[in-house]
Chains A and B, each alone.
Chain A
Amino acid sequence: MTENPNGRSEAKNGYSGEYLLETRNLKMHFPIKAGVLRRTVGHVKAVDGVDLAVRKGETLGLVGESGCGKSTLARLVLRLLEPTEGEVLFEGEDILGYDRRRMLGVRRNMQIVFQDPYASLNPRMTVGNIVSEPLKTHNIGGGSASERKRRVQELLEVVGLNPEHYNRYPHEFSGGQRQRIGVARAIALNPRLIICDEPVSALDVSIQAQVVNLLQDLQKEFDLTYVFIAHDLSVVKHISDRVAVMYLGKIVEIADRKALYGEPRHPYTASLLSAIPIPDPRKERERRRVVLTGDVPSPANPPRGCSFHTRCPRAQEYCKDHEPRLEPHGDEVGDEVGSGGEGRGPTEGHRAACFFPVVEGQRIEEPASSTPYKAGD
């Protein structure tokens, strides 16, 4: 891990209490080993410099195609993986330097719900044991077995399961019910932050809505903050306040839900949105679709310049040599740049990493101007 000498002081000054979670220049480069000596021959840049700030009580959606680094980012935030570089700030403090004991205290406040409800529950443990495990680890719930049981049954009821099923095993439940067990385990410690890593992707449509509604109700009831990771942009739109789009380990656009879906600036976001079929035949017949060519490049060998230029319908020569930064692109661009951006976090407003952003009402294929975009121009 690289030392950042300014890290701590910045954290103190910058922390206004508005953000629950922040990441700064977070990177995870997995080494690729080859040959007899297992020498490192390259790196998979799964997460490559992510700045993100999650406000208290909001739901931040994180979308992108498979392999874009969404799940790795989730694991870095929870320190299930140690990042190569960067900082993770929880309530203003960099948790990467924490030892085991202090980390345990932080983990009480950050929990995760996993994608696969079949693989994320231990088949040999009863539901009661699964949900009471965090209570035991953190010594909460009075410590006595009967008190813990009462708390677990309460939790089962909160997530819509029958408290009498306390002694059943995971295989006795359906996929949707298992995901409810996962949610009960996550909220058992009254955490502040829950990372939902594709919590509904494995479920059927009719069941998916049950879990989405449950997550929304719990957020209201317990004042939770969510980072909601999914590849389904419709579900993300439904549940999120703000949405970040990832491509090849980087955030390429972030904005309020309305702005991102209504006026996407980055051509990747725009083409993703146009690619999703809507269950409305008449609208479908009228829609224009931008079909991206080719596949996502390998994160072991990302393209030079803008990493999206190989598939971008708007790409120009300039994009091949220059790497765009995540810059303000919204209506408030003028004020923000004029005032030096003071008092605003690094990921506030509508930001996109593109030299030739899509302008409202314009087709994605036609570039706006021949001069690269600069915030404030």
Chain B
Amino acid sequence: MAMLEVNNLKTHFKTQDGVVKAVDGVSFSLEAGEILGIVGESGSGKSVTALSIMQLNPKPPTEYPEGEILFEGQNLLEVSEKRMQQIRGNDIAMIFQDPMTSLNPVFTVGNQIREAIRIHQDVSKSEAQEKTVQVLRDVGIANPERRAKEYPHQFSGGMRQRAMIAMALSCNPKVLIADEPTTALDVTIQAQILELMVGLQEKYGTAIVMITHDLGVVSQLADQVMVMYAGRAVEQATTDEVFYDPLMPYSWSLLRALPRLDTAGEVRLLPVKGAPPSLIFLPEGCNFNPRCPFVKDECLKIDPDLYEKKPGHTAACILSVEEIEKNKSRVDAELGVQT
């Protein structure tokens, strides 16, 4: 049994202008010790997926018209809030994007980590204190005894994110959801945090859901990748397959739009034309058709599901593998890309 299994998850928000289908039929499964990368642009539903797993979307306006989130076999959409509180932070922990706003400024860092430990584990105050110092040391904070007594504003950005990770790991969660954990950080600090996360994952066998818009971060860490567009998963496969043989024109376009450190300046970038669609007024047919470089007439009518294009590699595109490959080489030739 998978550690975490999400089946056809739909998260909709009822608004005055209509129903926003923020997540509209997303499925994935995650084994212990595995890292799943979720990539997509802002507004594609990455974070809402994460918040749905944590059951942190405000109700109303949130509704879950369909789907299930199975954690060790129990459906998180149906468990009571009381049970959810036991799971949240203890079995499934989350790291948020902005370490500045996700720590409480009026309590010491140590106090906030101790709180998490005391809520979920039956330990005395002094044991919780010991454990707090221990996790702070684990995430590489120097002088953890002294640092635990300091407030978040006394920490730098990278250290705050370390403190967040320490808090998330303090109860040895089975699943860690990291929502853009390094986006607000400088690259040298990002490298420190990513190294730390991989180290902890290897040590404790935590399963990680890594949400990011940075394709580089995904290629560095993830075993599997899910690409999201307008609330849907549009491609799912192993990391290598998505990067070397993308079968959804959107994933391919993203890779061609990105200047890469190893090849930058040698080829012209291929921008994705237009902008992501409004989630209330989605285009007819395939959601991506107004921006797709390979679009054909049928795409304007048919709204594709995720098809298995190759074993273990699904993509939401009606074009056959041959058609996609042909289109890719045609555009690559125009751009002068060597493949």
Contacts and interface: CB of A to CB of B under 8 A. Distances in A.
B253 A206 contact: yes
Interface string B161-177: 00000000000000000
A280 B260 contact: yes
Interface string B246-260: 000000011101111
B191 interface: yes
29 contacts: A206-B253, A206-B272, A207-B272, A207-B275, A208-B257, A209-B270, A210-B273, A212-B269, A213-B268, A231-B186, A231-B187, A234-B258, A238-B269, A257-B265, A261-B261, A272-B187, A275-B187, A275-B188, A275-B190, A276-B261, A277-B214, A277-B216, A279-B219, A279-B255, A280-B243, A280-B260, A281-B220, A289-B195, A291-B191
B188 A271 contact: yes
Contacts of B113: none
B215 interface: yes
Nearest to B39: A205
B338 to A, nearest CB: 14
Contacts of B253: 206
Contacts of A280: 219, 243, 260, 262
Contacts of B214: 277
Interface in A228-273: 231, 233-235, 237-240, 257, 261, 271-273
B215 A234 contact: no
Interface of A: 65-66, 174, 176-177, 204-210, 212-213, 216, 231, 233-235, 237-240, 257, 261, 271-284, 289, 291-293, 295-296
A282 B238 CA distance: 12
Given A234-B264, A238-B269, A289-B195, 14 more contacts: A66-B186, A206-B253, A206-B276, A207-B272, A209-B271, A213-B271, A234-B259, A237-B259, A238-B265, A275-B187, A277-B217, A279-B243, A281-B220, A291-B195
A235 B259 contact: yes
A280 B264 CA distance: 13
Contacts of A212: 259, 269, 271
Nearest to B212: A277
B192 A282 contact: no
B239 interface: yes
A207 B186 contact: no
Interface in B217-256: 217-220, 239-240, 243-244, 253-255
A205 B257 contact: yes
Given A206-B257, A237-B259, A277 B271 contact: no
Contacts of A272: 187-188
B20 interface: no
Contacts of B273: 210
B190, B213, B258: which has the most chain A beta carbons within 10 Å?
B258
Contacts of A237: 259, 261, 264-265
A292 B192 contact: yes
A65 B186 contact: yes
B48 interface: no
A209 B156 contact: no
B213 A205 contact: yes
Nearest to A174: B275
A293 B193 CA distance: 11
Contacts of B42: 204
Contacts of B187: 65, 231, 233, 272, 275-276
B191 A275 contact: yes
B319 interface: no
B258 A279 contact: yes
B146 to A, nearest CB: 16
Nearest to A68: B186
Contacts of B159: 295
Contacts of A291: 188, 191-192, 195
Contacts of B190: 275
Query: Which 10 pairs between the two chains have the least Cβ-Cβ distance?
Result: A277-B216, A206-B272, A209-B271, A238-B259, A237-B264, A275-B191, A279-B215, A209-B257, A210-B271, A238-B264
Contacts of A283: 262
A233 B269 CA distance: 15
Contacts of B259: 209, 212, 234-235, 237-239
Contacts of B272: 206-207, 209-210
Nearest to B239: A281
A277 B220 contact: yes
Contact of B254 (A206, A210, A235, A289): A206
Contacts of B257: 205-206, 208-209
A173 to B, nearest CB: 9
Nearest to B272: A206
B181 interface: no
B261 A273 contact: yes
Contacts of A216: 268
Interface in B13-55: 41-42
A279 B265 CA distance: 16
A205 B272 CA distance: 9
A42 B188 CA distance: 28
